[in-house]
């Protein structure tokens, strides 16, 4: 999965997990947990949804890399097999 596809998947999962969320208003380096007022359960649902969508294991130790759009997209793209 390339970075653009990863970013789209991330935005789709955020929209599914946080009703009414508009990821387009987030800056790429903004902590989206804060920007979308996600609680811990919302974030876990996001991680599970992203893992399901991408087929990647997302261990808890890597959660700090998954809190901004840029960080998350870079993480997913760097661990995905080329399409």
d(CA 18, CA 23): 10
> Which CATH number is correct for 3-79, 1.10.1200.10, 3.40.366.10, 1.10.357.10, 3.50.50.60?
1.10.1200.10
3 state SS of 29: coil
pTM of this prediction? 0.92
Q: Where are the beta strands (DSSP E) in 1-83?
A: none
pLDDT per residue as tens digits for the range 70-82: 999 999 999 987 6
Is the distance from CB of 51 to CB of 42 less than 8 angstroms?
Answer: no
Q: Where are the domains of the chain?
A: 3-79
Confidence check: pLDDT of 56 > 80: yes
pLDDT per residue as tens digits for the range 8-51: 999 999 999 998 889 889 999 999 999 999 999 999 999 999 99
Closest CA to 17 of 56, 54, 44: 44
């Amino acid at each position: 999965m390339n970075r653009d596809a990863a970013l789209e998947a991330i935005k789709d999962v955020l929209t599914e997990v946080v009703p009414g969320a508009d990821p387009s208003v987030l800056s790429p380096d903004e902590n989206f947990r804060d920007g979308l007022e996600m609680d811990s359960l919302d974030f876990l649902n996001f991680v599970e949804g992203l893992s399901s969508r991408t087929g990647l294991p997302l261990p808890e130790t890597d959660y700090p890399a998954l809190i901004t759009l840029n960080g998350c997209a870079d993480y997913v793209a760097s661990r995905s097999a080329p399409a």
